Structure 1
Amino acid sequence: MPQTVETATPPGGRHARLPLPARPRFTTAGIYVLLGVGYLLVSLWLQRRVLDDPSGLLIGHVTADADMFGWWLNWLPFAVAHGHNPLLTDWMHWPYGLNALWNTAVPLLAVLLAPVTVTAGSVAAFNAGVVLGPVVSGLLLVVALGPYVSSPGTRGWVARATAGALYAFSPFHLAHAVAGHLNLVWSVLPPLLLLLAHHLFARGPLRRPWLLGGLTGLVLVGQLVLYTQTLAIGVIALVLAAAVLAVRFPRRVPELLPGLLRAGTACVTVFVAVGAYPLYLVLAGPNRPRSAIRDVHSTGADLANILIPTRMTALRFTPDATGDRLTGHIGEQGGYVGVAMIALVVVAVLVVRSTALRLLATLGALTWLCSLGTGIVLLGSDTGIPLPWLVLAEVPLLGDIEPVRIQVVTALCVAAVAGLWIDRMPLTTGPATVASLALTGFALAGWLPADGQQVRPAPVPAFFHQPGDAVGPDDVVEIYPRISAAWDDGAQGLRWQAASGPDFKIRGGYFIGADPEDDVVTQSRWNRFQIGAQWVAEGKNDPSDDYTGRATEELRGLGVTALAVVPGRSPDGGGDDRVVEWSRRVTGDPGRFDGGVWIFRLPPAGPVG
């Protein structure tokens, strides 16, 4: 009720009462803003080490994937500004080129982060993306849980905010952030599908199936140009959810099926129509790999990871050495749930009468089983026990999914169940309430992130910032050290090329593609120049004149017009001098030292002097 205040009494009259302005309350939009700021502060704190030099440091334990993401973030605004196709390029892997949709090119993020890229560079854009990804993902779960939360006011918001924070800073996102996986810290599709699932499955016959299906199609197109593997994982999760509901409520299937068929038709129509070109690039576009890009049998999660955390989790009750025994690298060890959180999920299922909660718990269990891959691996050892994912291992496209990454759906389900438990758990008096609160506290504490995020230096020699007339867009440059997939600075040449504009093309790179010789290629090929450079750098061999001539002709045949040799990467100081001298022999050019880089031009034809 609004407050009132009495005015002075007029002659012969009564007191007049004027309403006072009501006390301001937070609007829904205001709460979202507050939550976004809160999540952002947590994300900035976790990644605070990069704030010392956002353009000179890379978030993550290693640099290879970060440099690759940075290259693609830089490519899209450059391509648009210069009239190139942003989804196809031959500026890397010359002359064959690359298909962005078969690489982790994150075109949608490249558009969103373009203002950062063009003003502060691709390194800063990558770092901004890693900071913002968990924030946006967590906020979307807060939005998605709106229809599922029943408690009005503060309790409902606390439940949603807690679930959002759990998802944003889940073991899955912490692991992929430290590995520099920009595409996976932007896990926006699972919460969007959770919101759509409410409208598709939980409200009776669909009132506007064509509109709802069309919106679903647009969401899937957005994920298509963000990261294709998560698109496949999201669709599989949606199908699993529909199957579980059909088994649980078989009598509702005839009632819902006509509307769902219309929605599905609209979804597919919009997806194919709006996403036609990127879909073509995935299915039949140029420069795509011609066989499976990875061994699906080696990309499942470790069974023990559900109970054993990595160093990215604050509270660990097992020795760190135990976590080191998990299969895969730390970026693929994000499946930790923990005993307390598992207990909370079980209690929630038994105590809370909620179809949504039980469905999420079931879906979480199914996706966790899928994440184990084609067979059980325990503490790094293959047990030989097969699992259902084996059925999908040979299916085209689905066979390229890394099952371990299905953990993102498991993380979402666990976070959502925890939120619905907070929303609906019985709060009265007595031991049961105390036990419920204690279990909730232990479960939430078990997912507290450790202060373990790392950064790595990302230096760029001065030459690449302003190449001048030394090289240009018509040049194909061979960079030494050779660009590769090696985790520690293997792809730094991509960072250097991106910093130049890019102002020149490169023959090799770090990517997913193919060439006439191999169905799948993932990194720069060795050639005689790079082999010879490795020999002389290590002082192992002095290439003969015949080998030198063959190295020259090979470079010419590859279309290389210049060499860029960056000193400071050899095992000893003399190695740099030997590589420079070797480059002179191969090119016949004395070289030009500029901005920390030696540039050698190859003559177009004729013998080397």
Structure 2
Amino acid sequence: MRAVEEVVEGRAETRPPAPEPRRRRADLWALLSYGLLAVLVLSRLWRDPSGRVLAGNDDDHGFFMFVMAHGERVLFHGDNPLFSDRMNVPDGINMMANTTVLALSVPFAPVTHWLGAGVTVVLLLTLGLAGTAAAWYWVLSRHLVQSRVAAWIGGLWCGFCPAMVSHANGHVNFVSLFVVPFIVWQVLRLREPGRAVRGGVILALLIVVQVFLNEEILLFTALALGVFVIAYALMVPARAKREARPLLAGLGVAAPISLALLAYPLYFQFTGPGSYSGQPFLPDKFATDLASLAGFARQSLAGTDELARRMSVSSTEDNTFFGPVGLVMIVAAVVVLWRSAAARAAAISAFVLLVVSMGPSLKVFGSDTGVPLPFGLVSHVPIIDLVSVTRFAMVPATIAGVLLALATDRMRGFTPRGRRLWAVGLVLALVPMAPKPLPVFDADPMPSFIAQGTWRQYVTEGRTLVTVPLPEVTYGRDGVRWPALTNLEYSSPRGYFMGPLDPPDDITGSWNAPRRFSSDLLWRVQQYGERPRLSASDKARITDDLVFWRAAVVVLVPGTTNEGPLLDTLTAALGEPQQVGGVRLWDVRSLPVPSNE
């Protein structure tokens, strides 16, 4: 049996013999089971990818449709991959400063081009879940365990634990973690003599790919590995000292190569147009609740939305939720593997990042206990201040899956009664955590004005189509979804993205474009049903905003909340609308277009 310490100490076989036919069949069934489970989780969205929206996170679902459409424009139209001028006109969007998964959106651009952004999103969510599980299964079965059952359990947990399923509510970047296990394995293999150059180059390329998938996860992985290495070195200092030289040599190769390849994209991300600093919320808004460790997530078989809401403020951030038996099994796995210094170091790494994920003070069932936690000391450190704190808990969730696989692999060394107890424990842990299909709702049909391309008669290059409600975070969903479904053939103002709050005076991160008179006014009308009396000055300011946005036509989204007050307000400002292709619109092509200075 390959114990985990043998792997870390370099005594495990790194290239086992080709698997026997029975193991090949086991591999096939494992991959098939992951694929079927991923399809089940996204089954409701698969029924109509372009006409349905994920109910748990309609904002990010629309955003990632925009991301896929941007990838299509990069490949088919030669657009700048790091910047988009198709939304938030005239300022545009810094795509590197947003989670735009260029490593997926560009390769899958043909799917978007021919089948639409909705299909690409559901396909990538499905492949992300199944691919992450398969990647961990591959690393576990080839390098860490002998039992294919143990590897299957580890892959199942790592790919479909509550954290992964909750992020499948639109977060393509957080379910596409299939590069992470190979990064971890390559780092561990750097200790082997003679691997510094080859291993360093491979690691550098994996890092580059991961940056264009999800930088947050790369940061979490680096921190977890750093804690692991420190903990392991303290427990076995002689061995750590002996292996430090080849490890550092390999990292010394990986670092300059990855930095050279990433220098300009990262420079553009942090200093280019549309860059920002910090998050639009306080660190304790999204933090791990202590009670959630033994709770059940919304999308787990045993979970309920009402109870989960007390322990997590968002259905996309159920990053722990192991259930009572699952938590016991994780602790039991650590006990079973306790003699392994590497297993203890992994457990310490998981514990440290779990505490970090709890934010600046301890919360229990949604109540702040006032007990200070270490994150409060580093919450304003650059880079750390860009992270959603609770997502640090994705690291212990993944490490838990690896430890369960390693402990399950040792089952053959248990007594018969011990094996039965362990098997029963796994069943009682995994079955209640089994994922349910993600909820969706039917989007309003796209009017023929958009679907049939009638808008082309109004919107020429350099002009925009302005939808009302204006696209903002949690509002104006169609203002993001419609252009995405046209593969960004037309440009639009504002939108849902991360950018500076009020540049250049305030570059704090914001989910909205900088405020304008018209955006504030129309927001109040939609929210509260107001029918404001517009003065001549108000009408002039609305006109100024339309000029700023380079508007060619203003379209009122049919069936929107408070449609009547919005119609009255726009009519008072712009005159009587036309009825074209199922929408009311105002033709404002007579307005001037500002220069591009």
State if a TM-score over 0.5 links the two structures.
yes
Match of 2:50 in 1: 55
Contact 1:471 1:503 in 2 (8 A): no
From 199, 202, 222, the equivalent of 1:235 is 222
Task: Please give the residue correspondences for 1:14-29 in structure 2 after superposition, counting only pairs within 5 Å.
Answer: 26=21
Task: Give the direction of change, closer, same or farther, for the CA distance of 1:254–1:563 in structure 2 (3 Å limit).
Answer: same
The reply to whether residue 329 of structure 1 matches residue 319 of structure 2 is no
Contact 1:476 1:561 in 2 (8 A): yes
Contact 1:59 1:177 in 2 (8 A): no
Superposed CA deviations along residues 10-39 of structure 1, whole A, max 9, x for unmatched, are xxxxxxxxxxxxxx9638666544322221
Contact 1:301 1:377 in 2 (8 A): yes
Query: CA separation in 2, counterparts of 1:451 and 1:187?
Result: 20
Contact 1:73 1:114 in 2 (8 A): yes
Shift of 1:184: 0.9
Match of 1:544 in 2: 535
Higher CA-based Rg: 1
Shift of 1:190: 3.4
Shift of 1:533: 4.5
The reply to whether residue 445 of structure 1 matches residue 431 of structure 2 is yes
Task: Give the direction of change, closer, same or farther, for the CA distance of 1:150–1:252 in structure 2 (3 Å limit).
Answer: same
Task: Give the direction of change, closer, same or farther, for the CA distance of 1:605–1:174 in structure 2 (3 Å limit).
Answer: closer
Shift of 1:69: 0.9
Q: Which runs of 4+ in 1 moved over 6 A?
A: none
- In the alignment, residue 538 of structure 2 is paired with which amino acid? Y
Match of 2:447 in 1: 461
Equivalent position SS for 2:21: coil
Shift of 1:394: 1.9
The reply to whether residue 177 of structure 1 matches residue 168 of structure 2 is yes
Shift of 1:509: 0.9
Match of 2:157 in 1: 166
From 334, 344, 347, the equivalent of 2:329 is 344
Shift of 1:436: 2.8
Match of 1:482 in 2: 470
Match of 1:387 in 2: 373
Shift of 1:130: 1.4
Query: CA separation in 1, counterparts of 2:411 and 2:26?
Result: 23
Task: Please give the residue correspondences for 1:259-298 in structure 2 after superposition, counting only pairs within 5 Å.
Answer: 259-298=246-285
The reply to whether residue 314 of structure 1 matches residue 309 of structure 2 is no
From 477, 482, 500, the equivalent of 1:496 is 482
Superposed CA deviations along residues 536-592 of structure 1, whole A, max 9, x for unmatched, are 6625323233422332133224433432222221436x446425523533xxx8546
Match of 1:5 in 2: none
Task: Give the direction of change, closer, same or farther, for the CA distance of 1:324–1:584 in structure 2 (3 Å limit).
Answer: same
Task: Give the direction of change, closer, same or farther, for the CA distance of 1:149–1:234 in structure 2 (3 Å limit).
Answer: closer
Match of 2:34 in 1: 39
From 253, 257, 280, the equivalent of 2:240 is 253
Moved more, 104-113 or 135-144: 104-113
Shift of 1:73: 0.9
Match of 1:603 in 2: 590
Shift of 1:117: 0.8
Shift of 1:408: 1.7
Shift of 1:58: 2.6
Match of 2:459 in 1: 471
Query: CA separation in 2, counterparts of 1:522 and 1:66?
Result: 15
Shift of 1:121: 0.9
Match of 1:3 in 2: none
From 422, 431, 440, the equivalent of 2:408 is 422
Moved more, 241-250 or 31-40: 31-40
- In the alignment, residue 532 of structure 2 is paired with which amino acid? N
Query: CA separation in 1, counterparts of 2:495 and 2:21?
Result: 51
Superposed CA deviations along residues 84-110 of structure 1, whole A, max 9, x for unmatched, are 211112222222222111112111120
Query: CA separation in 2, counterparts of 1:485 and 1:165?
Result: 34
Match of 1:114 in 2: 109
Contact 1:73 1:117 in 2 (8 A): yes
The reply to whether residue 582 of structure 1 matches residue 572 of structure 2 is yes
Query: CA separation in 1, counterparts of 2:507 and 2:570?
Result: 34
Contact 1:289 1:519 in 2 (8 A): yes
Query: CA separation in 2, counterparts of 1:463 and 1:338?
Result: 49
- In the alignment, residue 83 of structure 1 is paired with which amino acid? G
Task: Please give the residue correspondences for 1:177-216 in structure 2 after superposition, counting only pairs within 5 Å.
Answer: 177-178=168-169, 180-201=170-191, 205-216=192-203
Task: Give the direction of change, closer, same or farther, for the CA distance of 1:583–1:495 in structure 2 (3 Å limit).
Answer: farther
Query: CA separation in 1, counterparts of 2:580 and 2:269?
Result: 43
Equivalent position SS for 2:551: coil
How well do the aligned residues superpose, as a CA RMSD in angstroms? 2.7
The reply to whether residue 138 of structure 1 matches residue 128 of structure 2 is no
Superposed CA deviations along residues 240-288 of structure 1, whole A, max 9, x for unmatched, are 1111111111112221121112111111111112222222223332320
- Identity in percent: 24
Shift of 1:484: 0.7
- In the alignment, residue 64 of structure 1 is paired with which amino acid? D
- In the alignment, residue 318 of structure 2 is paired with which amino acid? Q
Aligned length: 567
Match of 2:62 in 1: 67
Shift of 1:452: 5.0
Which segments of 5 or more consecutive residues in structure 2 lack a partner in the other structure? 1-18
- In the alignment, residue 474 of structure 1 is paired with which amino acid? G
- In the alignment, residue 235 of structure 2 is paired with which amino acid? R
Match of 1:21 in 2: none
Query: CA separation in 2, counterparts of 1:360 and 1:60?
Result: 36
Match of 1:13 in 2: none
Match of 2:551 in 1: 560
State the TM-score, normalized to the length of structure 1. Answer: 0.86
Task: Give the direction of change, closer, same or farther, for the CA distance of 1:91–1:310 in structure 2 (3 Å limit).
Answer: same
Task: Give the direction of change, closer, same or farther, for the CA distance of 1:359–1:533 in structure 2 (3 Å limit).
Answer: closer
Query: CA separation in 1, counterparts of 2:240 and 2:291?
Result: 38
Query: CA separation in 1, counterparts of 2:473 and 2:389?
Result: 22
